[in-house]
Structure 1
């Protein structure tokens, strides 16, 4: 079973390395559907996994100067308190309760579908924003919208472990269309580090992290992400994102039905 977890971590890491998204969107449903890991434990373990891997990514982006720290602060003002409140809500209602587990399962499915939308329509949404500059938010409204988006992502990530990647990046593109692709990626990863760390700490407090599972996933994912990053240029991004969107749609349908 440990070898299976390592192979699964490698496969997910490979896809994340090639596409830049799909970590939580694939790992959490994979643990829930194929390994029968309870939804709350799958979410908690994936959050711990994400906090470690994203911390390494943030260091790289910081050295490259591709993190907008002002945006990171705004997102954290909304995301971190929301993550704490969501954790207390899970504690109050009971993460191991069967009905709560089903709610978490549906939350995962909903987050996966949002990721699919972000993957498929990100380009069209960005084109619309660029052709309607008068609709772009600026100043105080932009700051408030960023904090609100951070709060929504904070709840989504804490409950389902999904949302900090493709959904967060898409929101950044819509709110800040002048950011370069590298800045979007760096900023998205940077704010996700404290968010996933706090959410993971909350799940540790709730007793919903499998540390052995976490270690085996990391053993597979690190070389997978490295290899995926190397071969990414040789595989058409449009094909990969389409394949990922189809896979996630099937995962969401399986979770729901």
Structure 2
């Protein structure tokens, strides 16, 4: 099984993978993930809501109640192998509630999918490389390997023992500790692209960037580039230095942006 980057998937593949990895998440829980960003760009959020893959709020008629017993068990097995009980409840509270209601949770404990005690070395050994990478994608998408080392030392060791770290980077599951958004020009380029895609006259606030699926840009502006007001000034300067070949497509945007800043 190939772990594709979200941007490389067709619309159908994107919807299917979101259902497998994030089905039953509320919109606020889904917000900010790379899959959310891609779904926003393709205008698929309404489709995800209509299909109740992503929900607006918890409901007894929502995603999990409509699934069969075997579908619920498969979701738990795919998303959470090797989790302890407390960890599972914390990350999958709604799924846990539905499993308990149907008396299915004990089955996961008996088969060792969910652990009664602490994780031990080897608890991921029964997973294929593909299943292990899918688990990392489900639980740690957009995180660094350092984050995994701090959160789950057993998983960290399993990743290194199997030598699959490079694949997780190549497939866009994990991000390098050295974020590309630390580079000012990279962030400026992404900001201009976001403005073009949404018809914004100026780069909006962190909250609005998060809402529209551009949280990495908002975080970079705050963490690395002096905050929104300073970054907007850098953005005006950057737009003025774009080569003539690229200037035509941004001319109206630049005029509106500079005019709105006066």
TM-score bracket, normalised by the shorter chain, equals under 0.3
TM-score (norm 2): 0.25
Structure number with larger C-alpha Rg: 2
Identify, as 1 or 2, the structure richer in helix. 1
TM-score (norm 1): 0.25
The structure with higher relative contact order (CA 8 Å, sep 6+) is 1
